[in-house]
Structures are given as structure tokens and as C-alpha cells.
Amino acid sequence: MSYVIRRLRAFPLVLIGVSIIVFIAIRLVPGDSITAMLGTEAGLLTPQQRDSLAIYFGIDQPWPVQYWRWFTGLFSGDLGISVTYGKPVLSVILERFPLTLELALLAMLIALSIGVPAGIFAATRNERPADLGVRIAAMIGQSTPSFVVGLVIIYILSAGFGVLPTMGAFTPFWQDPLQNLGQMILPAITLGCAFASSVTRVTRSAMLDVLSDDYVRTARSKGASERSVVWRHALPNALVPVVTLSGIEFGYLLGGAVIVEQIYALPGLGRMVLEAILQRDYALVQGAVLFIALNFMIVNLLVDLAYAALDPRIRLEGR
């Protein structure tokens, strides 16, 4: 327990660091909210017009003042106002988050339910043709970019079968589960496929390691069935690297999957951040990155806790 508290105590420091880096990075990039809105027409503005637009966008003050204003707002839960959406940053993020969370969960579900069995299957048939087949498939899956998979799926469905899920707006699961799944399943497959390949490869090699361990030989010599050896004795230990990998991947997915969201026109966090960067919507970029960083840290903590649950030999320091 004290371990968790100690980890949680480090969160604010990391978040402040992240916020400062993002704050500076986005401002170092040439162009600002004014050129983003007006494009080359910004050249027609008089200095006074420029000044009043700078006040409108909240970029008239020196950087430290801007940061301090934003930072002190955080304590009252105020992440600022997004100029593109005309709404508080937090509400824009929370509107997009359910989609991103659902997409990440579905993609993980698909990836793990394909990748773990495939990895075990390959490991138990080490260097046999079936193993080779799985490894080749995993290699192809891992090296095909998701935009290719996505566009091929869309093309085959629309040109070959004349069907396509509704694109553009997002229907939350609790409003219409069927329509929601119809919208989410293809993006989830697109994301899940690539990740399933990594899971397969990691599961396979971890399984091979574990299967050659002494305790597995002991289990076998005690007459345990092959099934029990693989699933009960070997698998839990082989899962440790898979959990690490999944944790990191899940953390990334919670930051949004820009390319897949772009192709399937899903209004998720990834596209929102991309648009916000292009529009130089500073408050939204800062708020979103902070939110994503927080998610990442929570997922990391959960992964560390999961280690201990999976492998009793692992002791979290401070326990």
C-alpha cells in the first residue's frame, strides 16, 4: 500500500514537468493561433488588429505569465478554454475520451485474444511448420502500417460489398450498443491486428523460455498433463513480459490512435490533439497532453501491481 502512495506522490512532479515541456514546445514551433486561423490573410492585419487578436487568444502576455495563469487555474480544475471548440478544455477532452477508451479496450481485447493463444500455439510447436507459419504471419502483421490495413479494409468493404459503418459522428455504447460496435469494430481490428502480432511474438519467446525452466521439467516429471503444464504452470510466468508490453501499448492507445481515427473519421483524443496542434489551440494541447500523461502513469502503476499478482516472487519495494 505504501508503495502505491509513494508512486502517487510522484505524479504531480511528473505532471508539472510534462506541462512545462509541452507549454514550451508548442510555443517554440513557428506560427501561432492567429496565423492558424487566418493563414496568409494574417498578413493583412494592422499591428493593432494583431494585438487585439492576441488578447482574444490569450497569447498577449509573456510566456511565464501565460504559464502561471494556466498553472494556477489547474487547482480549481480549470484547464482553460479551447478556442476552436469554444468550450472548457476539460469538457472537450471528456467528450472524446469514452471513444478512445473503448477503442483501446477493444483493440487490446482483440490483440490479446489472438496474440496469446497464437504465441502459445507457436511455442509448443517450436521450429515446426506451424510455428514458422505463425511467425511469418506475425511478421507481416507487425510490419504492415495501420493506414494500409485500414484503407484496404475500407476499400474491400465499400467496393466489394457496398457496406461501410457510419462514419463521422460517434454513437456512445450506452446509447445504441449495436451501432456503436458497428462503428468501433473495424478500427479496433485495424489497431488490434498490428498489436496482436507483437503479443504473439513476445508470448512465444517468453513461453519458450519458461518451458525450458526447471520447474516445468519438474511438473512434467511429476506426470502433469501437457495442457496443465502449459496453461497452469508455464503461462502465468510467461505473461509477465506480455503484461509489460500490453501496459505500454494500452497507455499509448489512451493517448489516441491518430491514424486509425483519421481513416475511420472517429472523433477521438488522437485526432483532437492533432487538430489542436495544427490550430495552435494551446490550452487544448496542454490540457490533453496532461490528461494523456496522467493516464499513462496510472496504467504504468497498474502494470507494476499486476506483476506482483502474476508472479509472487516479485516484491514491490516498500511492501
Partner 1 sequence: MTSKFKYFLGATTAVMIGLSAVAGHADAATLRMAWAQDATGLDPHKQTAFSSLRLLELIYEPLVRLDADLKIIPGVATAWEFSTDGKQLTFKLDPKAKFQNGAAVTSADVKASFERILDEKTGAANRANYLSIESIEAPDAGTVVFKLKQPDAPILTAMTDTNSSIVPASEIAAGTIGTQAVGSGPFKLEKWDPNSKAALVANKDWAGGATGVDGIEISVLPDETAILAAMRTGQIDFALLNDPLIATLVPNEPKLQLNRAPLLAYHVLQLNPARKPMNELAVRQAISCAVDRKAVLDTASLGEGQVTGPITAPFFASDPNSLFCYKQDVEKAKKLMADAGFADGFSATVIAATGEPPTAAAEAQVLQSQLAEIGVKLDIKMMELNVYVDTWLKGDFDMAVALNGGRPDPYTMYNRYWTKNGNLQKVSNFADDTLDKLLQDGRAETDPEKRKVIFAEFDKQLAEKAPWIWLYTGYGYTAQQKNVQGFVPMPTGSLVSLGKVTIQ
User: Which stretches of the chain bind partner 1, using CB under 8 A?
Assistant: 29-32, 34-46, 48-50, 52-53, 56, 83-86, 151, 154-155, 157-159, 162-164, 166-170, 262-265, 267, 271-272, 275, 278-280
Q: Please, what is the minimum distance in Å from the beta carbon of residue 306 to partner 1? A: 35
Q: Please, what is the minimum distance in Å from the beta carbon of residue 6 to partner 1? A: 40
DSSP, residue by residue, 79-123: --EETTTTEEHHHHHHHHHHHHHHHHHHHHHHHHHHHHHHHHHHH
Task: Indicate if the alpha-carbon torsion angle 272, 191, 206, 3 is positive or negative.
Answer: positive
Query: Of the two residues 166 and 212, which places its CB atom closer to partner 1 in the complex?
Result: 166
Query: Of the two residues 179 and 279, which places its CB atom closer to partner 1 in the complex?
Result: 279
Contact 203, 126 (CB under 8 A): no
Contact 243, 303 (CB under 8 A): yes
Q: Please, what is the minimum distance in Å from the beta carbon of residue 179 to partner 1? A: 13
Q: CA-CA distance, 120 to 75, in Å (whole number)?
A: 49
Query: Of the two residues 170 and 250, which places its CB atom closer to partner 1 in the complex?
Result: 170
Q: How far is CA 300 from CA 247, 249, 290, 305, 312, in A?
A: 6, 10, 15, 9, 19
Q: Please, what is the minimum distance in Å from the beta carbon of residue 153 to partner 1? A: 10
Query: Of the two residues 73 and 267, which places its CB atom closer to partner 1 in the complex?
Result: 267
Query: Of the two residues 138 and 149, which places its CB atom closer to partner 1 in the complex?
Result: 149
Q: CA-CA distance, 258 to 180, in Å (whole number)?
A: 19
Q: Please, what is the minimum distance in Å from the beta carbon of residue 62 to partner 1? A: 19
- What 3-state DSSP class applies to 280? coil
